[in-house]
Amino acid sequence: MVFESFFFGVMLWCLLSMFLEKTYNGMCYVQYWRIIFVYMIAFLTKAVLLVSEGCHSHLSAVFNNDHLSTTKRHQIRNSEYVYRVTNFSQVYHMLQIKANWFRYVKFLPEELLPTLWSNDEKKLLVGTTLLPAVEAKLRRLEHEYNDIRNATQSIEWCQTHWWGDGTGVLSFGDWLQIDATYRSRVVKFPPTDAGTDCMIPCIDMLNHADNTIPAAFYEMDNDGNALLRLQNDFYIDEGCEVTITYGVSRTACEILYSYGFIEMKMSSAKGLFLDLAVSNNDPLGTLKGRIFEVRGVKLLEKDGHIEWSGDFVWLLCVNEEDGLSLLPPSGDYREPKMLWKGTPEEDPSKLRRHLELDFKMWEIYQLRAINLIQERIELQLSTLEEVEVGRVPHGDEMPVRHRCWELAVKLRELESKLLKQARAQMNRQTRDLLGSNNVQRYLARNGTGGEEEVT
């Protein structure tokens, strides 16, 4: 039986190697980061394992459980892939079979994304918009990791080689590193909005062009292959670096979150996202919190001007006395239903359009929105300025590494600059709106307390 299992594993691995060599030779793409997860785990496993059909059957039984959600099914399927390839990897080591994918994974460096920073290093991000994103990501990753562990720890093979004390090799730190490897190297393929997230060997190792014209770009040919091409009329001297662009519109926070760096020459954060909370005094607050998945405002800098967007802002600015009605979920409706002045509105994102059509009140609504955003900006600046990171001891052999400190300082500088620019601009807009005839008439009817009366 052992010999048959061993022979079966050798044959399957040889076939798999031939398939990979033939299908993905040269510059190729891999869809779904879970495939990369499989090959990463293959190098983490140290014990010599043989294919066990009993374990495979057990995993399949768990995977086929009708009571599991789609997300958990995907996670358990990952576990099955990990199981198969960790077996094959041992055959590979014993027979010294060469496979391009193993060599490719060996060349992938460990990434230093903020999800891998220490607790002392993450404290440097207090007051930035990056910290909430990192904390949310860590919670999701921990949830994924625990789901896989809970689904497989009763399987003898998994308990021994993944989770067992002294014998298990799969840790939460491994899961974080695999996520970082994927997020920092994934690209859209084909390179359009409709493309699939992929890792493309060779292309995924090209650096971002720092405020310069990238030397190259990638595209898909008629056969579905990935091609790396030089820009038209672009010449690269021997020994010079080939670069691509990771996106010219990405904010400083997005770049650091996904790639683990910020260009030191960057002079603007380009944009940031501020979460917004419903007021405790809002009678419709509970229902408002269930209308939109994205509950915040995005500030973007464009040609020295700050633009803001956020459907949730307009929802927070109106209430029943203005014409808003929210009906709790009932029957076939799982989400609250919105009505504006008695008329149902199936698309809550169109609320702004309804407000714009109310000519007498439109400037009042704008003033409320700006006042709401101003308060949120002040809170963010206050939190940002409470933490002084410039004097935090740092160094390669210290709890706070120099690179993490340098990136945190740069991000804080860029986001503080943008927030102050937005505050100054909104102060001017507030003064202009307070001087309009419609606002003055509204204040005369409702009181003379200035913008506080408007809100």
Domain boundaries, the chain: 2-208, 271-454
Place of tokens 């990238």: 214
Q: What is the pLDDT of residue 109?
A: 79
The secondary structure of 425-436 as a DSSP string is HHHHHHHHHHTS
**What's at 63, amino acid-wise?**
F
Cβ neighbour number for residue 321 with a 10 Å cutoff: 6
Question: Could you write out the three-class secondary structure of 253-309?
Answer: HHHHHHHCCCCCCCCCCCEEEEECCCCCCCCCHHHHCCCCCCCEEEEEEECCEEEEE
Q: Residue 161 carries which DSSP code?
A: I
Arch. (CATH architecture) of 2-208: Alpha-Beta Complex (3.90)
Question: In this structure, are residues 355 and 318 in contact, taking their beta carbons and an 8 Å threshold?
Answer: yes
Distance CA 359, CA 30 (A): 53
Q: What's the token pair of residue 303?
A: 């040609």
Cβ neighbour number for residue 263 with a 10 Å cutoff: 13
Helix (H) or strand (E) holding 153: none
Distance CA 313, CA 277 (A): 10
Task: Phi first, then psi: give them for residue 343, nearest 5 degrees.
Answer: -100, 125
DSSP helix/strand/coil, 23 = helix
Distance CA 297, CA 276 (A): 7
Q: What stretches in the chain show pLDDT beneath 50?
A: 1-56, 59, 62-63, 66-68, 70-97
Question: In this structure, are residues 129 and 274 in contact, taking their beta carbons and an 8 Å threshold?
Answer: yes
DSSP helix/strand/coil, 164 = coil
Distance CA 29, CA 218 (A): 12
Helix (H) or strand (E) holding 320: none
Q: Which residues have a Cβ under 8 Å from the Cβ of 240 and sit 6 or more positions away?
A: 215
- Tell me: the pLDDT tens digits for 315-346? 999 999 999 999 998 877 788 999 999 999 99
- Averaged pLDDT score across all residues of the chain: 79
Q: What is the pLDDT of residue 23?
A: 38
Question: In this structure, are residues 178 and 37 in contact, taking their beta carbons and an 8 Å threshold?
Answer: yes
Distance CA 310, CA 294 (A): 8
Q: Residue 405 carries which DSSP code?
A: H
Q: What is the pLDDT of residue 241?
A: 82
269-283 exposure pattern, b = at least 16 Cβ within 10 A, e = fewer = bbbbbbebebeeeee
Question: In this structure, are residues 129 and 269 in contact, taking their beta carbons and an 8 Å threshold?
Answer: no
Q: What is the pLDDT of residue 164?
A: 86
Q: Residue 192 carries which DSSP code?
A: S
Q: What's the token pair of residue 215?
A: 């030397």
Q: How far is CA 95 from the centre of its chain?
A: 40
Task: Tell which residue, 118, 92, 116, 95, has the closest CA to residue 106.
Answer: 92
Distance CA 84, CA 124 (A): 41
